[in-house]
Structure 1
Amino acid sequence: MKNIKIAAAVTLLVLGLTSCKDEKQEKAQKTIDSYVAYVDSVKNVSAENLKADWKAVDAEYDRRSQEAQTALADLKDNSAATEKVNASKIKYEEFKNEMTTVFAPPAPSPKQQLRDALFGAGKIGDDMNFSWVNAQNIHSVYQQFVHTVENNKDKYSREDWDEVKLMYEALDSRKNTVEKEGLTAEDNRKIAGLKVKFAPMYTVNRMGAKSEENKDAKK
């Protein structure tokens, strides 16, 4: 009788362990299926809707991806599941790269690129607002402007030189205001030197750019 009870207890224990293993594998399979379904569902959402919540979408993907990788270890034969996980991973990475391109801001116009080079990215837009230039930084602004022109003078077209002149005159106009707001004599002297350097460089190279365009037009 005692042996029968022991055998019964062992049988129940084995059945319990088997049941636990089955539940664990079933849960692991559901986790993997959920991961695969998530990737497919994300690809069906419009780019416009995704853009607003992309960080949350990507974070949720990372969480599900990690859970799926952990779940693979709980499957006795995980070869088929591994293929599904890897296929979804590749699918998502390709989709993410595509969305990164879609979400990227449009490239600035050539005119804006020139302004960004002269003053720094985003400093001067279509509003031509120079209020950020003050007595403390105006010398460094002139330095960047003149040195940028000097480094690129052989590349500028006639239209580029016209834009350079427009920006230069706008900066000069701002200097007239800054002079009344505490511009030091030392900085004023240094700016004067930069202006002396810029004037002939503009005149000669702008004429040269126009001459080259006339030659090209005759060909």
Structure 2
Amino acid sequence: MKNIQILSGIALIALGFTSCKDEKQENAKKTIDSYVAYVDSVKNVKADDLKADWKDVEAEYDRRAENAQMALADIKDNAAETEKINESKIKYEEFKNEMAVVLAPPVTPKQKLRNALFGEGKIGDDMSFSWVNAQNIHSVYQQFVHTVENNKDSYSREDWDEIKLMYEALDSRKNTVEKEGLTSEDNRKIAGLKLKFAPMYTLNRMGAKSEENKAAKK
């Protein structure tokens, strides 16, 4: 009888451990499901409507993602739950990229001009030309001069002033690059582009100013 009671006690303890284990696993699954549901709910909101609260959304996402990842340890066979988490991560990253476009500051006319002259985002407010080197400086001049040539009739006086500022900054960078291995062939080609740019700038800048004066008189 005593042995039966002992065995019964052991069985109850084992059942208790099993029950606790099952409960822990169920809670872990709920945590993961909550994370998945959060990502789905965020994706169902228009990006424009989340602009004001985006920092809070990101903070909540990070909290839930961390909890979901930790919950995997409490699930014995967690392949399905791991896949759920990975799928939601991909969904969130895709939506985050959409938000990056919405949250990006508007591109000013000056920045649009710089993007056209040098490439998207190459020159910002810091006016850094450190990315220009002996290997690419000829192509940089080439893009700059050809872009100006193709659009010279549409530039305002302010545009030409900005173009001159950028041109002088590029020339300053060239002085540095010449000491870093600029080939004589590229130097010759750049000289040809500079000869094309100088009169084009002078004539068109004067023309733009003249047009603005006429418009002002009217």
| Pairwise TM-score range, normalised by the shorter structure | 0.5 to 0.7
Alpha-carbon separation, structure 1, partners of 2:58 and 2:118: 31
Q: How does 1:32-43 map to 2 (within 5 A)?
A: 39=41
Structure 2 equivalent of residue 167 of structure 1? 166
1:154 alignment partner, SS class? helix
Following superposition, the deviation at residue 109 of structure 1 comes to 1.0
Alpha-carbon separation, structure 1, partners of 2:117 and 2:175: 19
Q: Which amino acid aligns with 1:117?
A: A
- TM-score for both structures, normalised by structure 1: 0.58
Q: Which amino acid aligns with 1:154?
A: D
Q: Which amino acid aligns with 1:196?
A: L
Q: Which amino acid aligns with 1:50?
A: V
Cα deviation, 1:182-219, whole Å, max 9, x if unaligned, reads: 11010000000000000010000000100010011011
Following superposition, the deviation at residue 48 of structure 1 comes to 3.3
Q: Cα gap change, 1:173/1:48 in structure 2, threshold over 3 Å: closer, same or farther?
A: same
Aligned residues with identical type, % of pairs? 71
1:51–1:103 CA contact under 8 A, matched in 2: no
Alpha-carbon separation, structure 2, partners of 1:182 and 1:212: 44
Following superposition, the deviation at residue 51 of structure 1 comes to 5.0
- Detail structure 1 runs of 4+ shifted over 6 Å in the superposition: none
| Counterpart check, 1:208 vs 2:211 | no
Alpha-carbon separation, structure 2, partners of 1:149 and 1:193: 15
Alpha-carbon separation, structure 2, partners of 1:218 and 1:118: 32
Structure 2 equivalent of residue 176 of structure 1? 175
Structure 2 equivalent of residue 20 of structure 1? none
Q: Cα gap change, 1:51/1:211 in structure 2, threshold over 3 Å: closer, same or farther?
A: farther
Alpha-carbon separation, structure 1, partners of 2:101 and 2:199: 45
| Counterpart check, 1:145 vs 2:144 | yes
1:116 alignment partner, SS class? helix
2:153 alignment partner, SS class? coil
Q: How does 1:19-168 map to 2 (within 5 A)?
A: 39=41, 46-51=53-58, 53=61, 100=99, 103-168=102-167
Following superposition, the deviation at residue 50 of structure 1 comes to 2.5
2:154 alignment partner, SS class? coil
1:146–1:194 CA contact under 8 A, matched in 2: yes
1:133 alignment partner, SS class? coil
The structure with the larger Rg is 1
Alpha-carbon separation, structure 2, partners of 1:51 and 1:214: 52
Alpha-carbon separation, structure 2, partners of 1:102 and 1:141: 27
Unaligned runs of 5+ in 2: 1-32, 66-83, 89-94
Unaligned runs of 5+ in 1: 1-30, 64-95
Q: Which amino acid aligns with 2:110?
A: K
Following superposition, the deviation at residue 159 of structure 1 comes to 0.3
Count residues in correspondence: 148
Alpha-carbon separation, structure 1, partners of 2:204 and 2:192: 19
Following superposition, the deviation at residue 122 of structure 1 comes to 1.2
Q: Cα gap change, 1:212/1:51 in structure 2, threshold over 3 Å: closer, same or farther?
A: farther
- TM-score for both structures, normalised by structure 2: 0.59
| Counterpart check, 1:191 vs 2:190 | yes
Alpha-carbon separation, structure 2, partners of 1:162 and 1:211: 14
Alpha-carbon separation, structure 1, partners of 2:100 and 2:140: 33
